[in-house]
Amino acid sequence: MITKIRSKIYIHPLYYVIAFICFITGYFKAFSIYTIVLLVHELGHLVAGFILHWPVAKITIYPFGCMTMFAYKLNSSSLEEFFVLLYGPLFQILFYLIYPTPYHYFILLFNLLPIYPFDGAKLCFLLLNKFMSYYNSYVAIYGVSYLIIFVLFLYDVNLINYLVLSFLAYDVYRYIKKLDLTMLKFYFDRYKYPVRYRYHKLIYGYQMKKMFKEKNNYFLINNKYYSERAILQYFFSQKF
């Protein structure tokens, strides 16, 4: 299992750039300790994923954090996703009891920023899902991400800050470009793994982007009611 996980680990080039800058400026030891705390934090997410039997697709190590991509169903319950999010800070807090260092505070606070795909943004995304459609929740969190990045650009002027924030801005842009593909996977998971929910949502017209995550979506089109499954079946028959 360890060998399989190791094969899915990818160290981003920006990590090496920041590591080199820290080396020549005398901060490599601090950077190494910082990296260990990041890895412990991500280990928490991995353990939670294993508990839920979520397959690991890829683990990327950045200079500002790590990100584990799970091959899980996008219509999984918000409770499961919250469980995975919670285990990162939990493992880090436990590690703090063993090895207290100021880096713990910085990583926890930085990771809670609503910049996608940080844990803070994912938590906000789960909350937005309760009040907004799945698509609009993404649009909102991407907008908030750019707002926070812009504020941080003005807050601290230094080379490392600019490198990290520039990458984050570009990373959010990449997620925006993949939003249609994400929605396609969301529709597919809803169709292939249907779940009955407690609450219902009525959508006027053939507007699939207005679908909510944890609701039974119904469509009113030309004075006729259609179930979500019927709409998805029609969508995929036209798509493929």
- The residue among 189, 211, 230 that closes a domain is 189
Angle at 112 between CA 108 and CA 117, to 5 degrees: 115
68 touches 75 (CB < 8 A): no
166 and 59 fall within a common domain: yes
140 and 72 fall within a common domain: yes
Q: Does the pLDDT of residue 128 top 70, yes or no? A: yes
118 and 50 fall within a common domain: yes
| The token pair that represents 117 in the structure block | 């795909």
Tokens 């990590």, residue?
15
Number of domains the chain is built from: 2
Residue 212 or residue 74, greater confidence = 212
Residue 67 or residue 231, greater confidence = 231
Mean pLDDT over residues 81-93, rounded?
Answer: 93
* Sequence letter at residue 59: I
233 and 161 fall within a common domain: no
Q: What is residue 95's predicted lDDT score, i.e. its pLDDT?
A: 93
Give the domain extent around 125: 2-189
Tokens 């200079």, residue?
63
CA distance 39 to 236: 40
62 and 144 fall within a common domain: yes
177 and 133 fall within a common domain: yes
Q: Does the pLDDT of residue 4 top 70, yes or no? A: no
Q: What is residue 240's predicted lDDT score, i.e. its pLDDT?
A: 63
**How confident is the model over 173-229, as pLDDT tens digits?**
999 999 999 999 999 999 999 889 999 999 999 999 999 999 999 999 999 999 999
Residue 6 or residue 56, greater confidence = 56
Tokens 């990458």, residue?
167
32 and 95 fall within a common domain: yes
CA distance 205 to 4: 46
Q: What is residue 2's predicted lDDT score, i.e. its pLDDT?
A: 55
109 and 223 fall within a common domain: no
